[in-house]
Amino acid sequence: MDNIIFIGMPAAGKSTVGVVAAKRLGYGFLDTDLLIQEKEGKLLHEIIRERGTDGFLEVEDRINAQVDVRRCIISPGGSVVYCKNAMEHYKKIGTVVYLKASFETIEERIGDPRARGVALREDQTLRDLYEERRELFEKYADLTICEDGLTLEQTIGKVLKVLGK
């Protein structure tokens, strides 16, 4: 239970907050989107285009469920909450922290979600995705950090304080 797993929407700051927090704690850092790209030899949006959203989620579930690290901050993609095996694994190996941001904050930060490799269904809007995932983030979170109105530095400080670090 010595890992910290950040969940949240794409553009919530999981990787940015994770890298800085890992440095301050002396932890490792793992961005599982990069791990997926490395193992598959393709960019996320290419995997989604070739295999569809469901095919991508199968890959994401398999790779995330196999993560074996200690004293590490793990930043999985926002769609990991659809992956039952991965989330059960993460709940066993660490503390799951939901970096919560309002829809408006996410919309402002994200740019083109499809170009970013966000697993959106054809008929799905970003708001639909936000509402659907918000429930799952809340379900899996051990801790929730609301970052609306906070600077990056304030968010990191809040994360470290809540974790007692």
Q: At residue 113, does pLDDT exceed 80? A: no
Check whether 13 is labelled as a binding-site residue.
Answer: yes
* Residue 23 CB contacts under 8 Å (≥ 6 apart), including other chains: none
H helices present in 26-83, as ranges: 32-40, 44-65
Helix, strand, coil percent values for the chain (each to nearest 5): 55, 15, 30
Check whether 112 is labelled as a binding-site residue.
Answer: no
| pLDDT for the residue 117 | 63
In a domain, 165, yes or no: no
Residue type, 106: I
In a domain, 110, yes or no: yes
Check whether 111 is labelled as a binding-site residue.
Answer: no
Check whether 165 is labelled as a binding-site residue.
Answer: no
In a domain, 17, yes or no: yes
If one counts every other C-beta atom within 10 angstroms of the C-beta of residue 30, the result is 19
Q: What CATH number should be reported for the domain holding residue 154?
A: 3.40.50.300
Q: At residue 112, does pLDDT exceed 80? A: no
In a domain, 164, yes or no: no
| For range 107-118, the mean pLDDT | 74
Q: At residue 65, does pLDDT exceed 90? A: yes
Question: Which band of pLDDT confidence, cut at 50, 70 and 90, is reported for residue 162?
Answer: confident
Question: Which band of pLDDT confidence, cut at 50, 70 and 90, is reported for residue 116?
Answer: low
In a domain, 18, yes or no: yes
Check whether 75 is labelled as a binding-site residue.
Answer: no
Domain residue limits at 151: 3-158
What SS3 class is residue 117?
A: coil
Check whether 12 is labelled as a binding-site residue.
Answer: yes
Check whether 33 is labelled as a binding-site residue.
Answer: yes
In contact, 44 and 60? CB cutoff 8 Å? no
In a domain, 151, yes or no: yes
Question: Which band of pLDDT confidence, cut at 50, 70 and 90, is reported for residue 131?
Answer: very high
Integer-rounded Cα Rg, in Å, for the chain is 15
pTM of the predicted protein model: 0.90
Count of domains for the chain = 1
Per the rule left: phi > 0, alpha: psi between -120 and 50, beta: everything else, 144 is beta
In contact, 40 and 86? CB cutoff 8 Å? no
